[in-house]
Amino acid sequence: MDIAALKKILISELLNASVSSIEGLEISYLGRNGKINELLKNIKSLSLEEKKTAGKDINAFKIFASEEIKKTKSSLYEKKEQEMQVDVTLPPSLDEPGSLHPITIAVNEITGIFNKIGFIRMSYPEVDWEYYAFEVLNMPVTHAARDDFETTFLSGQPDKKKGKMVLTPHTSNGQVREMERLHSKPPIRMINIGKCYRPNWDATHTPMFHQFEGLCVDKNITIAHLKGTLDYFVKSYFGENTEVRLRPHHFQFTEPSFEVDITCTMCKGTAIVKDKKCKICKSGWLELGGTGMVHPNVLKAGGIDPSLYSGWAFGFGIERVNMMKYGIDDIRNYYSGDIRFLKLF
């Protein structure tokens, strides 16, 4: 068959080609045993001069065929692809997702922030002696925080020297324990995160809650350092534009003692949200928690000479910072085990 006829056939075949036939068509022309190779085989018998011309023609046809087939092929595929209609917004089939507890998320975030400035995370007993929970924190037996209404006592045998067994009402029992661990040799840079227990159970209190406690003891630690650290934490955790202020307060184990406020996360410290008074803050500020300079009696109890060393400490509630940052306001849900709440995270 001559090339011209073959070309005609190819053109008509291409017109009728479909996605399913095009592959076969391509092979029938361009394959090892295809029509073009067939033509090449046939020129063996020709003279050299004839071979030259025929070869040229066949080659031109080969280029033509391969280009036309390619063109038809891509236009066929394109057409097919355009015909496909998929609703990409349909939900896929998924495994039921799990969740982390909101406390876990906050603990991870807080640990990371303090790690960056060289604070190591420690963990101290939740069940401890009155000695570590009160005595060494400058809270004598008569102190109000030690009575039945404020502290959770346990049935374990009391220790002759260290008193009764209690569920720690704060993470501050870790202060003197950390001093003891380091053989009373500062520097101390600790962040202690743990469960705490107080006998309160109402809309805003649960008998178990979490605190994170910072403790820094070294030579020449000042109020300015405490402010610097709080500033760093608050800006890292709540955002660059958050401001901190200290107000006078009182705690037995710090002197001076402060209450820490930050500018309200809701109204950004303006006390006004959409022309109305902000619902969650007191005049633009939110209370974060308590802090202060470590009381010399606490340093002494930990075997550290307060004339050589000084320090700061703070204890903040994790449930509280979650409320302030993420607006998770019903604290009772935290430990209720209700998956309708837990699945939200």
Alpha-carbon distance of 84 to 76, in angstroms, equals 13
CB neighbourhood size of 342 (10 A): 16
Least Å from the CB of residue 212 to other proteins: 12
Smallest distance, Å, CB 218 to other proteins?
A: 6
Q: Which is nearer to other proteins, 279 or 340 (CB)?
A: 340
- What per-residue string of b and e applies to 67-104 under the rule 16 or more CB within 10 Å gives b? ebbeebbeebeeeeeeeeeeeeeeeeeeeeeeeeebbe
Work out how close the CB of 164 gets to other proteins at its nearest, in angstroms, rounded to a whole number: 9
- C-beta atoms surrounding 279 within 10 Å: 9
Q: Quote the tokens at residue 72.
A: 């038809």
Nearer to other proteins (CB atom), residue 75 or residue 108: 108
Please identify which residue in the block is written with the tokens 């190591």: 120
Kindly give, in sequence order, each residue whose CB lies less than 8 Å from that of residue 316, ignoring residues fewer than 6 positions away: 211, 212, 260, 288, 289, 290
We find the least distance from the C-beta atom of residue 7 to other proteins, in angstroms, to be: 53
Name which of 35 and 295 has its Cβ closer to other proteins: 295
Q: How far is the CB of 45 from other proteins (least distance, A)?
A: 51
CA 214 to chain CA centroid, Å, is 21
Complex with other proteins: residue 32 or 340, whichever CB lies closer: 340
Sign of torsion, CA 335 341 343 345?
Answer: negative
For residue 279, give the amino acid letter.
K
Any residues with CB less than 8 A from the CB of 225 and at least 6 apart, and which?
216, 312
Q: How far is the CB of 129 from other proteins (least distance, A)?
A: 7
- For residue 213, list its beta bridge partners: 192, 315
Q: How far is the CB of 303 from other proteins (least distance, A)?
A: 16
In 3-state terms, what secondary structure has residue 182? coil
